[in-house]
Amino acid sequence: MGSPGPASPTDDSKQPKPSDPLPPPTPNPFRESSGAGVSLAPLANAIITPALEKQYVHRESPTLISRQGWERATGQRAYTWALGNSKTALLFLMCDDIAAWRRASFYWLEDTKLPFQETDLEGIATNPKKVIENQWRVMTREFPQHGQHTDFQPRETVPLNQVSVITTPGPEKKAVDKVRWMGDDKNRVYIRKYFTFERHAEKLGLLSQIQKVKTLEHPNVAKIVCSYSQGATIGFVTTQAQLTLEEYLRHPMAATRPGLLLTWINDLTQALAYIHSMDMMHQSIRPNKIVLDGPRIIFTAFGISTDNASVSPRGSPRSYSGTNLTLPTNNSMRPLSDAAYVYAAPEVVARHGQGHRYRTSADIFSLGCVFLEMLTVAKGQTVTNLRGYRAHFSHDQSFHANLDRVSSWRKLLSGLSSGHRDSRINPGLTNTNHPLKGVAGIGTVESRKEDEAAEHQVLDWVGAMMNAESARRPKMRRLAPAMKRLDETRTVRRRRSFDAGDAAHVPPPAPTPIAAPLAPLGGAGMDSARRRWGAMTEKESFTEGSLISF
């Protein structure tokens, strides 16, 4: 039986009656229905950019309006309104409220009224509260995280949400807090430091410094993620590290990783040498200004300063009288914080407030203080012990006020071996269930001897770095290569020790003559050091395990 032929135009039985329902259209996946191709997904969490405004207002809005079934005149009025107020139009679109376009065009709600109050949206927005919560996304521009500077207008929103406050604004009108990027679904936390200025010249000066810091390219110097200005405020953002060196040195695990501490000492040496080579100065070196990001140690950007006008010509002693990122005025005229005082060089404290021109040698002294604390922990002692020892008679915890005691402590450390990292230093490690139990024993005997030899050499250099006379401290351009050679030699010998199990045949590194050798300590080798130790413990009543216990 053949298939039926085509219906005749005169066959009334085949013609649809006016009362009959229309047959459903044949599905066609290749046909784009009106408005179906408009995707609102890019608006879900985006900060509105000119590109998005152009895409949705200029190109997509006719399609979006046609889907609403409005009269032609109403649609034309809504389209004209959207073209003139693209931020508000996109704001309603992000809130899934395109119906508000018709009402907004009738009341002529304008972009110039941003930010809106709920009363502004009554009778216009379906959900005014949702619109209020999202309007920041149309009031700001993109805030790149690749070192760029962004100048925000007073009415724009800086897309940073404060997580917590680290320091509140004081007399210097600066503050530090933890922030998150608005719209960041990963909820990453950053550190922001911002200043408020009364004079435009101060603002320009700090902006210039921030731009200078952004040029630094070193693995052990923190990068500025971005910076911004808005009215009288300037801020910059850096990544948040896991913890500071100060926090790490208080942890029991630190004493079990002397090799890592030595590696970090070399890294910090190379970083400061790099900073000085760029005609810059840190001017705020102390353990809480040094942070750890995994195995990497980093100078924060917060203390770095520069003033090209006051830099001495190359080849002459460099000095600085300019500002630093912790204060946008002459740094020599502000009071020293308690932490800065402890690690400050003697000449900085003696001439503070007198317009003293800072020299790179002040950085070197402060770094020497940090190294002494690191070596103290590497030798199994604690920073608290060192602090108590140097302040025992003076009751002043600073390094510069107790240089004799600091020198004595350094010599005592030179006589200690890795064997002093015992339960008297970190009682928690004697617990058989402690997670760090046995960590101190990692590595071969030869590798630990290499660490001890390197520690002894670095202690000699620390003595030179902390010389009371600034002119007698080593320059970083000389110290850095010597420290690098020591670290490379130690690394090679440790590798041979692990690979071949016989480092004894590798000749020990010769001492590098950065500074004059220490004066003889009154004996030969370790036996002499132990006799000297016994005499001092008897005299000052402290134990060998803790160095001091009052």
Mean pLDDT, residues 184-192 taken together = 85
The beta-strand segments (E) located in 114-154 are: 149-151
Instruction: Just give the CATH number of 149-239.
Output: 3.30.200.20
Peptide bond before residue 50 is cis, with ω within 30 degrees of 0: no
Please tell me the predicted confidence (pLDDT) of residue 137.
79
Give the number of other CB atoms < 10 A from CB of residue 4: 6
Please tell me the predicted confidence (pLDDT) of residue 270.
98
Residue 381 scores a pLDDT above 70: yes
Please tell me the predicted confidence (pLDDT) of residue 338.
81
Cα–Cα distance, 266 to 268 (Å, whole number)? 6
Please tell me the predicted confidence (pLDDT) of residue 443.
52
- Pick the residue with more confidence: 107 or 30? 107
Cα–Cα distance, 150 to 237 (Å, whole number)? 12
**Least confidently predicted of 115-119, 171-175, 226-230, 289-293:** 171-175
pLDDT in tens, 385-415: 999 999 999 999 999 999 999 999 999 999 8
Q: Report the run of H or E that residue 473 belongs to, with start and end.
A: none
SS3 327: strand
Residue 276 scores a pLDDT above 80: yes
Task: Say if CB 140 and CB 158 are below 8 A apart.
Answer: yes
Integer Rg of the chain from CA? 34
Residue 164 scores a pLDDT above 60: yes
Among 424, 420, 437, residue whose Cα is nearest residue 376: 420
Residue 324 scores a pLDDT above 90: no
Mean pLDDT, residues 302-331 taken together = 41
Cα–Cα distance, 357 to 349 (Å, whole number)? 12
Residue 2 scores a pLDDT above 90: no
pLDDT in tens, 76-124: 999 999 999 988 998 998 888 999 999 999 998 999 888 899 999 999 9
- Pick the residue with more confidence: 260 or 329? 260
Mean pLDDT over all residues of the chain? 76
Sequence letter at residue 341? Y
**Topology match between the domains 149-239 and 243-308+323-540:** no
Residue 224 scores a pLDDT above 70: yes
Task: Say if CB 515 and CB 464 are below 8 A apart.
Answer: yes
Mean pLDDT, residues 476-491 taken together = 94
Structure tokens at 334: 């502000």
Mean pLDDT, residues 303-310 taken together = 44
Cα–Cα distance, 504 to 497 (Å, whole number)? 8
- Pick the residue with more confidence: 223 or 6? 223
Give the number of other CB atoms < 10 A from CB of residue 516: 11
Banded model confidence at residue 256, pLDDT cuts 50, 70, 90: confident
- Pick the residue with more confidence: 28 or 179? 179
How remote is the C-alpha of 152 from its chain's centroid? 22
Cα–Cα distance, 457 to 387 (Å, whole number)? 22
Cα–Cα distance, 370 to 388 (Å, whole number)? 16
Banded model confidence at residue 435, pLDDT cuts 50, 70, 90: very low
Mean pLDDT, residues 333-347 taken together = 81
pLDDT in tens, 125-150: 999 999 998 888 787 777 888 888 99
Mean pLDDT, residues 479-498 taken together = 84
- Pick the residue with more confidence: 267 or 506? 267
Please tell me the predicted confidence (pLDDT) of residue 329.
39
DSSP string, 419-468: GG-STTT-GGGGSTT-TTTTGGG-S-HHHHHHHHHHHHHHHHHHHHHT-S
Q: Give 397's Cβ-side CA count (13 Å radius).
A: 11
Please tell me the predicted confidence (pLDDT) of residue 436.
33
Banded model confidence at residue 48, pLDDT cuts 50, 70, 90: low
**Least confidently predicted of 41-55, 92-106, 217-231, 470-484:** 41-55
Sequence letter at residue 344? A
Cβ-Cβ contacts under 8 Å for 371 (sequence gap 6 or more): 265, 268, 458, 461, 462, 465
Cα–Cα distance, 234 to 193 (Å, whole number)? 8
Residue 489 scores a pLDDT above 50: yes
Cα–Cα distance, 376 to 466 (Å, whole number)? 15
Beta bridge partners of 234: 195, 229
Cα–Cα distance, 46 to 43 (Å, whole number)? 5
Domain assignments of the chain as residue spans, ordered by start:
38-138, 149-239, 243-308+323-540
Mean pLDDT, residues 202-221 taken together = 89
SS3 199: coil
Please tell me the predicted confidence (pLDDT) of residue 29.
34
Task: Say if CB 139 and CB 115 are below 8 A apart.
Answer: yes
How remote is the C-alpha of 171 from its chain's centroid? 24
Residue 542 scores a pLDDT above 50: no
Mean pLDDT, residues 207-231 taken together = 91
- Pick the residue with more confidence: 22 or 66? 66
Instruction: Just give the CATH number of 243-308+323-540.
Output: 1.10.510.10
